[in-house]
Amino acid sequence: MAYTYHELKEKTILELRDIAKDVRHEAVQGFSQMNKEHLLPALCGALGILIHDHVVVVGIDKPAIKAKIRELKQKRDQALAQRRPRRGQESAKADPRAQPRDSTARRTAGVADSSSIRSSPSAPSDRARWRRRRLVSMA
């Protein structure tokens, strides 16, 4: 029976070994110990079947695809450069003296002397007093 590569590839290893049992060729010697990846090319060689018939790639123009990708990336970069920044983004980037967003950094950003540090809630000795004053003022 004449087989094609695709027919042999779809068969199980047991079916391939059964076929190899009937073939007398040195390429399939030791077929009982071969796995499918080794037995399939050996059988194809013994039966005279072309292995590389199935690997014909048609219609792919890799340089054209890469050129199109480069062109699209340039368009994307241009669009990102022309995009208006979100509200507040531009002003924060433009002003290097802008206050940091972290609350602890904001409290200590403008502190110059030790008297203002003592009144901040982060000083451990005055923490309880500060909390009491805050609770009284809130009530």
**Residue 108 domain-assigned?**
no
* Alpha carbon distance 44, 11 (integer Å): 13
120 falls within a domain: no
On the CB side of 26, how many CA atoms lie within 13 Å of its CA? 0
Residue 21 lies inside a defined structural domain of this protein: yes
Could you tell me if residue 18 is inside a domain?
yes
Residue 55 counted as domain residue: yes
Q: Which domain holds residue 66?
A: 1-78
* Tens-digit pLDDT profile for residues 29-82: 898 899 998 999 999 889 888 876 555 566 788 889 999 999 999 999 999 888
**Alpha carbon of 86 to those of 72, 83, 99, 101: distances in Å?**
24, 9, 18, 17
> Per the structure, how many domains does the chain have?
1
In a domain, 10, yes or no: yes
Distance between CA atoms of 44 and 74, rounded to whole angstroms?
49
pTM score = 0.38
Residue 132 lies in a domain: no
Does any domain span residue 129? no
